[in-house]
Amino acid sequence: MGDYSKALEFYDKSHQILEKALPPTHPDWATSYNNIGLTYNKMDVYSKALEFYEKAHQIKEKALPPHHPHLASSYNNIGGVYNDMGDYSKALEFYEKTHKIYQKALSPNHPDLATSYNNISSTYHGLGNYAAAPKATTYAFQIRQNAFQEDNLACAFTYNWALAIFQQMLPERHPNPAIIYSNIGDIHRLMGDYERTLSFHRKVLNIQEKVRCNPLECATTYTNLDETYREMKDYSTALTYFEKGLEIREKNLPKNHPDVAVIYHNIAKLYLSTGKYIVTLNLADDSGTSILHLNLTGYSNFND
């Protein structure tokens, strides 16, 4: 119904009863203040929303341990008001407080942790930090994907949720659309929609080829393309992009850099898929120095 004035009227009556029946530090006072704050927030009366959210928070601070999830929810409510007001710096301050508590109090795949990442992403976007925003959204997506991997319907919802978030980050003149296109491409690859995956990663490559970008960024895009073609079993095209990525990395990275060894390893796997075992052995020999160095220096997790 959305009759917030009526809701506020009854919340006020409820609170008057609490004032007579319970001490001011009772948790029910915090719940009451929170309900009033929420109603003011829905009415866009932000100063009053903050006033009551902060009253609720003060009670929770006295009653709860510093890493209690309810305290995080309180910070999140305050951050949400600042976000609605367009004060993104303040919103980020409170969202980060929320996130720190959730990281300590919740499991790594908890949905509230994903929501926290998403709130931070939205705030970064509001601040114009277009590099950090998609990273936070990607973390949120990964959590939701892990949480719902046994539920196909929920997983499909999660993919579409992530795509919607990334699409919202693409105004016409986005200062760094390549980052967003790359993330959208990755989501489509996870969904098995390879044609759309290739479409978005080609957009990234077109942008990178038109501007003077870090060559290693192009190498990453080549890797995204080669992995997609490999999954499509188009091994000859995959090999073309693998070799382009390898050429860039060999020119810009030390010979024993982990990324160089990984590319050798992946090309070897690609040749194995095509049955060209002699070439595979040669590639493995070429990367042998890198692999040996990685093992000696602690990078022993060099597996398929």
Residues 118 and 127: their CA atoms lie apart, in Å, by 14
Task: Decide if 112 is inside a domain.
Answer: no
Average pLDDT over residues 189-204: 89
Note the pLDDT tens digit of each residue in 124-151.
878 877 677 777 877 877 787 776 665 5
Tokens of 40: 């003011």
Compare 216 and 191 and report the one with higher pLDDT.
216
Task: Decide if 187 is inside a domain.
Answer: no
Task: Please name the residues in contact with 12: beta carbons below 8 A apart, sequence gap of 6 or more.
Answer: 36
State residue 68's pLDDT score.
Answer: 94
Split into its structural domains, the chain has a count of 1
* Percent of residues, the chain, with pLDDT higher than 90: 35
Residues 181 and 217: their CA atoms lie apart, in Å, by 13
Task: Decide if 274 is inside a domain.
Answer: yes
State residue 171's pLDDT score.
Answer: 58
Indicate whether 286 pLDDT > 60: no
Task: Decide if 280 is inside a domain.
Answer: yes
Task: Decide if 5 is inside a domain.
Answer: no
pTM equals 0.60
| pLDDT bucket at 178, cuts 50 / 70 / 90 | confident
Task: Decide if 220 is inside a domain.
Answer: no
Q: Determine the structural domain holding residue 272 and report its residue range.
A: 253-304
Compare 114 and 73 and report the one with higher pLDDT.
73
- Of the spans 27-31, 38-42, 48-52, 271-275, which averages the highest pLDDT? 48-52
Average pLDDT over residues 11-34: 90
State residue 95's pLDDT score.
Answer: 97
Note the pLDDT tens digit of each residue in 57-81.
999 999 999 999 999 999 999 999 9
State residue 290's pLDDT score.
Answer: 44
Residues 72 and 96: their CA atoms lie apart, in Å, by 10
DSSP 257-304: -HHHHHHHHHHHHHHHHHT-HHHHHHHHHHTHHHHHHHHHTT------
Task: Round the average pLDDT of the chain to a whole number and report it.
Answer: 81
Residues 67 and 102: their CA atoms lie apart, in Å, by 8
Task: Decide if 226 is inside a domain.
Answer: no
| pLDDT bucket at 300, cuts 50 / 70 / 90 | very low
State residue 69's pLDDT score.
Answer: 93
Task: Decide if 268 is inside a domain.
Answer: yes
